[in-house]
Amino acid sequence: MDEQYERILVISSGPVGSAQPATSPAETDLTCRELVNAGKEVILLTSDPNIFRSADPRIHYLITPLTADFVSQVIRRERPDAILPSAGGQIALNIMREIDKSGLLEQLHVRVLGSTIEAIEKSENGEQFRAFLRDTNIPTPESTYVDDASAALNCADKIGYPVLMRRGQSRSIARTRGELSNVIAASIGGGRILIERAIHRFKAVQFVMMRDSAGTCVLLGTIESLDPVGVNAANTTVVTPAQTITDRDRTALRSAGKQVMDALGILGCATLSFAIDPRSSDWYMLKLKLGLSWTSSLIARATAYPVAGVNTAVALGGHLDQIRIGAHKQMVAAIEPGVDAIVARFPQFPRQLQTGAKLGPQLLAGGSIMTAGRTLEATLMQGIYTLGHDDSHVLSTELREWDEDEITGHVIKANALRLPALWLALTRGFTVRELSELSQINPLFIAAISKIITCLDELALDHSAEKLRQAKNYGIADATLASIWQVSEDEVRQTRQDEDILPTYKTLDAMGLIEPDTPTYYASYGATGESERGNLPSVIVIEPNAAAPWLNSAHESISSAMLAAIKDSGCTPILLGSTPRPLVYPGVKHYLLGASNEHILDVIDLEQPLGVITQTAGREGSRIAHMLKRRDITVLGSVPSKHGANRVAPKLRDALAELSTDGWALTYSGDIAGDPDSTHLAVDAIADGQDVAVLGVINSLEQNESRAGKVLAVTPPRKGAAKMTEKAVATAVKLTQTLGLVGFVHLDLVVRDQRMAVTFIGPSASATVPFLAKTVRKDVVAVACAVLLGQKLADLGIPSGQLAQAPGVHVLLPVLRSGLTAPGSSVPTIVQTGLVMGSDMTLGKALIKAFAAAHQPLSAHGTVLLEEGSNADAELAPRLANLGFQIVGMERAERLNGVQLIVSDKPDIDFRRRATAHMVPLINTVSADAILQVFEARAFSMMQLSALER
């Protein structure tokens, strides 16, 4: 391995892009650990508040926007010996391309580890990659890049419709000249236009491969999409290993992949996308993505092959036949791992996108879950439950009421509800062949769903143990069986136990060839299992599965850190959830299961834990905690009140009266909550039933909004809010003590003048905890773990009150992008895909960094749209004009082309949607004032010379 490079800069993943999801913080963490194990010092750049933070002094964390300008500043200041971009996905690779063109790397003698800049350029530049494939005689669809709409239309006429159009952030399939003209006119981001023959009925498969500097190239796994080419692979259900490709196809595509990686000199991991004609042996290569991505994460979980670690070792110069992998380093990385289960990844869509609107090449899914099983039926069934939202009936009441036209419409076009639509169609008499022709989905997958439905139909009449065992092997939940048999779920559970029909848990371990550091278990109903209760006491952590994927990212960060703290306490940490991200900490046991009552109770029966932590499970945590308490199972930490405010408010009356001093008036759910001139605060804390450690106070920077994590917010609260912050901290301490809460605590407060209303208080780990954890010096999750396991804050040397804060101002910004267009609207919906943070010594600088991190840079010049007749207009117009901004009014609100900034205090939802679609930053007067102070401080005077006296 390379010994001459001691200080290595790692570029983490940025916010979710328009074409592919970002890599997870886990890949970055695993990369840093591999570098440290190799004796390197690591400088990690990130803007993700959910990034894991290690106490290892050899890893230095910098919160910075992931843009070429900011990364260049870090390189000049930190002077790393080398840079490793392959852990950060497409964003990191694009940054390296831009920095290399500036000459900075050559000037400072900084080397790029892994694939060369030339290889990165050829693979990431679509025009160059297509030319390379043609020169290498690799089949690829006919395509041309053009400069304007007229040339695009002429090109499409020659190629023939349908065509795929890509420009800037926009990707669409056009079936006619008129459609193409419309999608080009509506495209966002500008730049050259790609017109490519659309092969939208072809089978979509991806090969994940690894290559070293000696030319050894191994196939790590194959992935097949249920939907055909034309749907972004992250928008559809995918299965590994690929189920319907022939050995001949696999050999041909593997050979083509090796040929391309050899020709480009790829070092490390890459994902190659192919299209296979289901009616012939024809195939095309579509693209190659360097480095780590969601595909490599899926293969890492399905095979136990440590993709991130091997990718790093190869970048450092290691050879695959010398790199040792597995818990006891018993295998070499040159192995091509197999999979003895069927593993699937199901996309997650926010509720507003589950409308049946058509999915295409544009990325719209914000997250995913992972399932695994011995049979295709079991693997698909687990995912269908998460999409149908009703374990008792598989599909929700709303879906079950669809008529034939609605069913057919959802089957024909790729959409977020396509799998439930196929299920419903089969129950209404459609055949597998008909549905395959309508949907262009391979009949193998539809036949698997048909088998499950047939089994359910038979269960209505056949209650035998044999039929029950078949149902469980198909992944059918106890809740569904209870509904069919008209008994309780507990009765079904008891029947299973009486008949000895119990889950056995198998390991995802490359058919036993790789012993994983962090074993992942899936449920089967075979004779023997591979998971056994250990000698150490264990603690189960329930992972979330919220409808909003950005919430999952935050709670996954908390639960991951909690697992490490549990291990450090001397217990065995057990994770129960369906996360597809790699597991970071060795010694963790992961049960790859949805957090249903059935799965949780089955794992508890096997593991007999000290207790279960549900506070990290998001909104599901409360339901799970109450279910466990009813069964006298130990829940670690307080459980939210079942009756919400009605139960909590009376307990707090005296405490609120006690806090109403020095002119303050405190209430619970007061009437100022809806006041647009009020200030919204969020407080996170850790309590042991007596003392309360406040992590911080977050101040919303938007009017009439309270949900920190969904709005632009700052900690500590903005200048002039010291007394309000002190009162918020005192209130959090007093009310938490009054309720005797243990574990994480979250409060929402609304303040106007000296009136403060508590709108929420409850025991849960909020999505803002990872953000606040970056602004204090304590390892707050480790503190919370100690408290949940019975220690007192006083024993840890932590008094009640606010924890010591790190210096600076820290801004939390939601990352938004356009989703599907709702029926009856011409403006796309807004989807929150994540969070970024910006940190600096002033609010203005922190805001500038946060918007840069979200890839919405705040320009110091250009055109600004300013609401006429508003406070923003009166206060800011002269200052903007003095800085050289061109000011326009609401006449530009319909078409925002050419607008660099919007300042508006009360924008309506359609205006917000247009701003999001055009990626124009939208801020209010408060934020604009702070930002302008920065611009004004660095602006130079433009005074004319004094006039000559006559």
Mean pLDDT of the region 393-406: 88
Residue 19 clears pLDDT 50, i.e. is over it: no
The residue with greater pLDDT, 158 or 55, is: 158
pLDDT computed for residue 800 by the predictor: 95
Strand partners, 343: 240, 372
Whether 829 has a pLDDT exceeding 90, the answer reads: no
The yes-or-no verdict on residue 707 having pLDDT over 60 is yes
pLDDT band at 363 (very low <50, low <70, confident <90, very high): confident
Confidence of residue 14 (pLDDT cuts 50, 70, 90): confident
Worst-scoring range by mean pLDDT, 294-303, 358-367, 742-751, 856-865?
Answer: 358-367
Whole-number Å distance between alpha carbons of 539 and 297: 26
Residue in 609, 638, 606, 608 with CA at minimum distance from that of residue 625: 638
**pLDDT higher than threshold 60 for residue 557:** yes
Copy the structure tokens of residue 285: 């290569």
pLDDT confidence bin for 798, thresholds 50/70/90: very high
Q: 21: pLDDT confidence band, cut at 50, 70 and 90? A: low
Question: Across residues 807-821, what is the average pLDDT?
Answer: 85
Compute the distance between CA of residue 86 and CA of residue 168 in angstroms, rounded to an integer.
23
Delineate the domains of the chain, giving CATH numbers in brackets: 7-113 (3.40.50.20), 142-197 (3.30.1490.20), 203-340 (3.30.470.20), 345-353+368-499 (1.10.1030.10), 505-630 (3.40.50.20), 645-763+775-806 (3.30.470.20), 837-937 (3.40.50.1380)
* N-terminal to C-terminal alpha carbon distance within the chain: 78
Q: Is the peptide bond before 716 cis (omega within 30 degrees of 0)?
A: yes
Q: Half-sphere exposure (CA, 13 Å, Cβ side) for 61? A: 19
Q: Distance between CA 693 and CA 685 in Å, rounded?
A: 5
With 70 as the cut, is the pLDDT of residue 299 above it? yes
For a pLDDT cut of 90, what percent of the chain falls above it? 63
Alpha-helix residue ranges (DSSP H) falling in 38-142 = 68-78, 89-102, 104-108, 117-124, 126-135
Confidence of residue 480 (pLDDT cuts 50, 70, 90): very high
What's the pLDDT at 938? 85
Does residue 287 surpass a pLDDT of 70?
yes
* Confidence band of 471 (pLDDT split at 50, 70, 90): very high
Average pLDDT over residues 772-790: 95
Confidence of residue 273 (pLDDT cuts 50, 70, 90): very high
741 vs 119: CA distance, rounded Å: 56
* Mean predicted lDDT score pLDDT of the chain: 89
User: Looking at 118-122, 711-715, 819-823, which range is the least confident one?
Assistant: 819-823
Most confident of 78-82, 529-533, 642-646: 78-82
Mean pLDDT for 138-157 is: 91
Of residues 832 and 932, the one with the higher pLDDT is 932
Distance of alpha carbon 345 from alpha carbon 379, whole angstroms = 9
pLDDT digits (tens, 9 = 90+) for 562-575: 999 999 999 999 99
Neighbour-count burial for 15-39, b at 16+ CB within 10 Å, e otherwise: bbbbbbbbbbbbbbbbbbbbbbebe
Least confidently predicted of 17-21, 264-268, 581-585: 17-21
Which of 367 and 690 is assigned the larger pLDDT? 690
Mean pLDDT in residue range 138-163: 91
Nearest to 754 by CA among 779, 731, 778: 731
Stretch among 52-61, 722-731, 814-823 having the lowest mean pLDDT: 814-823
Residue with more model confidence, 276 or 824: 276
Tell me the per-residue pLDDT of 163-195, one tens digit each, with 9 for 90 and over: 989 887 678 888 899 999 988 887 876 788 999
Q: Is 492 exposed, middle or buried (0-12, 13-18, 19+ CB in 10 A)?
A: buried
What would the two tokens of residue 200 be? 């939208």
pLDDT band, very low/low/confident/very high, at 389 (cuts 50, 70, 90): low
Q: How far apart are CA 6 and CA 39, in angstroms?
A: 8
Q: In whole angstroms, what is the distance from residue 269 CA to residue 115 CA? A: 10
Alpha helices in 265-364 (DSSP H): 294-303, 307-315
The pLDDT-based confidence of 658 (bands split at 50, 70, 90) is: very high
Q: What is the rounded average pLDDT of the residues 38-56?
A: 90
Beta strands (DSSP E) in 447-563 are: 504-507, 520-524, 538-542
Q: Is residue 939's pLDDT more than 90? A: no
**Band of pLDDT at residue 554, cut at 50, 70 and 90:** confident
Q: What pLDDT is recorded for position 58? A: 94
Instruction: Give the per-residue pLDDT at 915.
Output: 87
Instruction: Say yes or no to pLDDT of 647 above 90.
Output: no
Q: Is the pLDDT of residue 379 over 70?
A: yes
